[in-house]
């Protein structure tokens, strides 16, 4: 089989800020005279202790991203990183909360900068990016409405989805139904983080109250065989991030991760990195882990790419262009 790194990959679950190389954040902090030393370890990697602390470090890193130019440079750095791992299509979570604080006018400027970088990366590196506007659960439902407003105002060829990330143990999906209804109205694809820090009920609530076609993570559905069957029958797509789940302590090792059991049960699974530098991972490392621990090979990796292609929130022309690239490799 082709070297894992060279396999053409599609990634549906990547937080733009969470993909920031630590050196990129450190450099911006230095230039802006912001002291961020507390969020790095002695080796210069992001340092956190568990999920809630991870969110704190993530948000601290975001404080240095204060202008559209910062997001332009970040987008280029992230897409270079992804293209280097064989990624040909990526959907990135973009948060208006970190791009102008939810103000639609500011958001347009940030988004224009991100899209300009994506266009440049596509021309130079052959990687296609689409954006999924994302609200942050623990920031509350009012901010989610602002995020949805930003999504409504900018939905189109580049902004193709709406989602929710953040602390799954805060509030309830029904508190965000208004925001998701607004996003659905303008034709955006919908995804919600669930079944990561919450169990099967959390996945059920996201499906019922937010009517999403994809679930971010969703792996704890494995705790309820009836829910696993429902996901398989309804074709709900899971954006599984094994390395993230192990790094954050959800599973003690990849051997105990349910991704292979979910796939064997007929659930549509895709694989992503979530916040790669935080978890010391890349798409190639994710693939390598699946090959080493579960014996995944060309058929499984082909099927991952095809599932992601069908589940991507892009327009038909983009999907067809990515399909042609997959066939050509
Ligand atoms: N934001 C960034 N990464 C996240 C994760 N793994 N879960 C919830 N929110 C996030
Ligand atoms: Zn995520």
**Residue 196 known to be catalytic:** yes
Is the pLDDT reported for residue 1 higher than 90? no
Index of the ligand 1 atom closest to the CA of residue 166: 9
User: In this structure, is the dihedral angle defined by the CA atoms of residues 167, 169, 171 and 176, taken in order, positive or negative?
Assistant: positive
Query: For the chain, which residues make up each domain, given as ranges?
Result: 4-313
For residue 137, the ligand closest to its alpha carbon is 1
Q: How confident is the model at residue 205 (pLDDT cuts 50, 70, 90)?
A: very high
What does the pLDDT average to over 156-174? 98
Per-residue model confidence (pLDDT) at position 15: 99
Mean pLDDT, the chain, rounded, equals 98
Over residues 283-293, the mean pLDDT reads 98
Ligand 1 atom with the smallest distance to the CA of 248 is: 6
Q: How far is the CA of 230 from the centre of ligand 1 (A)?
A: 25
Q: Per-residue confidence at 187, pLDDT binned at 50, 70, 90?
A: very high
Instruction: Please check the confidence at residue 3 and state whether its pLDDT lies above 90.
Output: yes
pLDDT grade, residue 46 (50/70/90)? very high
pLDDT at 126 exceeding the cut of 80:
yes
- Mutational pocket test of ligand 1: of 18, 20, 60, 95, the residue with most ligand atoms within 8 Å of the beta carbon: 18
Q: For residue 190, name the pLDDT band (cuts at 50, 70, 90).
A: very high
Q: Which of 91, 168, 196, 286 is catalytic?
A: 196
- Per-residue pLDDT, averaged over 269-274, amounts to 99
Given a cut of 80, whether residue 282 has pLDDT beyond it is yes
Distance, CA 157 to ligand 1 centroid (Å)? 25
Q: How confident is the model at residue 329 (pLDDT cuts 50, 70, 90)?
A: confident
User: What percent of the chain lies above the pLDDT cut of 90?
Assistant: 98
More confident residue, 269 or 1: 269
Domain made up of 4-313: CATH architecture: Alpha-Beta Barrel (3.20)
- Taking the centre of ligand 2 as the mean of its atom positions, its distance from the CA of residue 194, in whole angstroms, is 10
Q: Which of 52, 135, 165, 246 to mutate to test the pocket of ligand 1 (most atoms within 8 A of CB)?
A: 165
Confidence (pLDDT) at 273: 99
- For residue range 310-326, what is the model confidence (pLDDT) as tens digits? 999 999 999 999 999 99
User: Which ligand sits closest to the CA of 194?
Assistant: 1
Q: Residues with Cβ within 6 A of ligand 1?
A: 15, 18, 58, 165-166, 193, 196, 244, 274-275
- The pLDDT, as a whole number, for residue 53 is 98
Given pLDDT bands bounded at 50, 70 and 90, which one contains residue 89?
very high
pLDDT (mean) for 33-40: 96
Q: Whose CA is nearest to atom 8 of ligand 1?
A: 166
Per-residue model confidence (pLDDT) at position 192: 99
pLDDT at 115: 98
Q: What percent of the chain has pLDDT over 70?
A: 100
pLDDT tier, 150 (very low <50, low <70, confident <90, very high otherwise) = very high
What are the residues facing 128 on neighbouring strands?
89
Atom of ligand 1 nearest to the CA of 168: 8
pLDDT band at 2 (very low <50, low <70, confident <90, very high): confident
């Amino acid at each position: 089989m082709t070297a894992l790194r060279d396999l053409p990959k599609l990634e549906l679950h990547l937080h733009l800020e969470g993909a920031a190389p630590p050196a990129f954040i450190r450099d911006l902090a230095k230039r802006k005279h912001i002291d961020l030393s507390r969020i790095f370890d002695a080796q210069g990697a992001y340092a956190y202790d568990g999920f809630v602390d991870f969110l704190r470090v993530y948000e601290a890193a975001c404080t240095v991203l204060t202008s559209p130019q910062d997001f332009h440079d970040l987008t280029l750095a992230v897409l270079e990183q992804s293209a280097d791992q064989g990624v040909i299509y990526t959907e990135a979570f973009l948060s208006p909360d970190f791009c102008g604080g939810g103000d639609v006018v500011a958001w347009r400027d940030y988004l224009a900068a991100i899209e300009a970088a994506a266009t440049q990366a596509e021309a130079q590196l052959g990687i296609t990016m689409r954006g999924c506007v994302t609200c942050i659960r623990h920031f509350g439902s009012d901010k989610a409405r602002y995020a949805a407003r930003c999504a409504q105002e900018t939905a189109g060829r580049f902004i193709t989805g709406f989602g929710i990330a953040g602390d799954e143990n805060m509030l309830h999906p029904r508190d965000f139904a208004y925001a998701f209804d607004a996003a659905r109205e303008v034709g955006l694809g919908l995804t919600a983080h669930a079944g990561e820090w919450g169990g099967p009920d959390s996945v059920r609530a996201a499906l019922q109250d937010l009517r999403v076609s994809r679930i971010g993570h969703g792996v704890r559905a494995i705790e309820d065989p009836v829910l696993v069957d429902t996901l398989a029958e309804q074709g709900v797509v899971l954006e599984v991030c094994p390395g993230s789940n192990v790094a954050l302590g959800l599973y003690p090792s990849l051997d105990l991760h349910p991704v292979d059991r979910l796939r064997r049960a007929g659930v549509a699974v895709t694989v992503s990195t979530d916040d790669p530098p935080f978890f010391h991972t890349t798409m190639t490392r994710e693939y390598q882990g699946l090959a080493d621990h579960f014996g995944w090979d060309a058929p499984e990796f082909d099927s991952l790419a095809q599932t992601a292609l069908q589940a991507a929130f892009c327009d038909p022309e983009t999907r067809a262009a990515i399909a042609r690239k997959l066939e050509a490799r």
